[in-house]
Structure 1
Amino acid sequence: MDLQVLPLAVTMMAGPQIMTAIILVTHRQAVRMSLAYLAGVAIAAVIGTAIARWLAGLLGGAVTLGDPADPGSVGALVQVALVGLLIAFAVKNYLGRETSEPPAWLGTLLDAGPDRAFTTGLLLILVMPTDIMAMLTVGVHLTQHDLPAVAALPFLVATLLIAALPLLAYLVFHRRAVRAMPQVRDWMNGHGWLLNVVVCVLFIFFIL
């Protein structure tokens, strides 16, 4: 098992992903909706990471990724390219902060059912650019260090644990959570741009 990729789990869930988890614990069927969402997140993270490891393996078979300590290696250049994309994404979010609004679909989750929560968990992991980058980074890391896909297990467990934090807070601190979560939800809805910038900065820090 490889703990070096563990911090990337934070970037997997920061942003709309954790916002969704918080919104779902304010649903009238909080536990059922949250479990459906977590199932979607878990399945998507496993599939996405496996695909990323496979793609990195194909790239490693065609082009030598090189020594992880060599800043000129192909693997290092791939990571630099990811950092460049993240910087551009962070700048875009910052410049558009005045007109930034939460995705319209977030507001519809309180009227959704478990099937919608499950699908949302799947899609947020499989189509979000930052999550795709995180899983690709894990794949490249495992390939460079010649590690099997199972070495990503700590990363997957950490991702699911972070996704489950709102539900755990709801179960452990039920009354306080019921009062606090709507306020947290509203704040995050109004500061989505800031969350996206923080995600990018964290991701860049973890890569470098």
Structure 2
Amino acid sequence: MDGLQILPLAITMMVGPQIMSAVIFVTTPSAVRVSLGFLGGVAVATAAGVAIALGLAAALGSAVDLGGTDDKGSGGKIIQYVLVGLLAASMAKNWFGRATAEPPKWLGTLMTADPRRAVKVGLLVILLMPSDIVIMLTVGVHLEQSDSGYAHALPFIALTVLVAAIPLLARLLFHRRAEAAAPAVREWVSTHGWLVNIIACAIFIVLILA
């Protein structure tokens, strides 16, 4: 996958409860240890998820001709168009439900999380989020279509972890300023989660159709 595709995909992987979790963790008393646990979970989940997606794409490719990445009518492209439809439905759901949208209740419990729980959260926010599953499946199909191996997904995995690390890096680099700004950022992201999800879906749809 080329650089123009990797960065937006990695950003989209962390949009929503994923980045909300990262922001909350840097405001906890044990911010560094907890955040590192979260990053470890994200790294393992993304690496495993892409491996599973590539395996599924390979299995599907042996049964159905996925075609090439430039073949608009290929089986692989049809799968991606179906994913676009699912993302569009998700955007509509977020838009029409914006008036009553609330952040997941479990986010409010993360302030007391220890590193072990942070690892679990990192695993679950990647492996159980529909948007991330869709992205990793798309990466798997793309790798299978282009006859690329798992190694070609490593930049995507690394960038996903780097995006997840932005709140922690900001805290380490800017110290008090970051600590002062973090609660406000956490509040905005929590109350505008529906908008963040819509933007993430829109970016991903553009990437697929492009």
Normalising by structure 2, what TM-score?
A: 0.97
Structure 2 distance, partners of 1:67, 1:168, is 39
Q: Which amino acid aligns with 1:151?
A: H
Q: CA deviation at 1:190?
A: 0.7
Structure 1, unmatched stretches of 5+, are none
Structure 2 distance, partners of 1:168, 1:207, is 30
Normalising by structure 1, what TM-score?
A: 0.98
- How has the CA–CA distance of structure 1 residues 2 and 151 changed in structure 2, closer, same or farther, with 3 Å as cutoff? farther
Comparing 48-57 with 62-71, greater Cα deviation is found at: 62-71
Q: CA deviation at 1:5?
A: 4.2
Identity of aligned residues (%): 57
Contact 1:20–1:106 under 8 Å retained in 2: yes
- 1:71-86 alignment runs, 5 A limit: 71-86=72-87
Q: CA deviation at 1:202?
A: 0.9
Q: CA deviation at 1:56?
A: 0.3
Structure 2 distance, partners of 1:175, 1:52, is 41
SS in 1 for 2:120: helix
Q: Give the structure 2 partner of residue 200 of structure 1.
A: 201
Q: Give the structure 2 partner of residue 137 of structure 1.
A: 138
Q: Give the structure 2 partner of residue 39 of structure 1.
A: 40
Q: CA deviation at 1:4?
A: 5.6
Q: Deviations over 1:111-170 (max 9, x none)?
A: 121111110000010010000000000000000000001100110011000000000000
Structure 2 distance, partners of 1:47, 1:70, is 28
Alignment partner of 1:100 is 2:112: no
SS in 2 for 1:28: coil
Count how many residue pairs are aligned between Structure 1 and Structure 2. 208
Contact 1:2–1:152 under 8 Å retained in 2: no
Q: Deviations over 1:34-64 (max 9, x none)?
A: 0000000000000000000000000111111
SS in 2 for 1:196: helix
Structure 2, unmatched stretches of 5+, are none
Q: Give the structure 2 partner of residue 20 of structure 1.
A: 21
Q: Which amino acid aligns with 2:86?
A: L
CA RMSD of aligned residues (A): 1.0
Contact 1:21–1:164 under 8 Å retained in 2: yes
Structure 2 distance, partners of 1:4, 1:138, is 14
Q: Give the structure 1 partner of residue 184 of structure 2.
A: 183
Contact 1:5–1:155 under 8 Å retained in 2: no
Alignment partner of 1:29 is 2:23: no
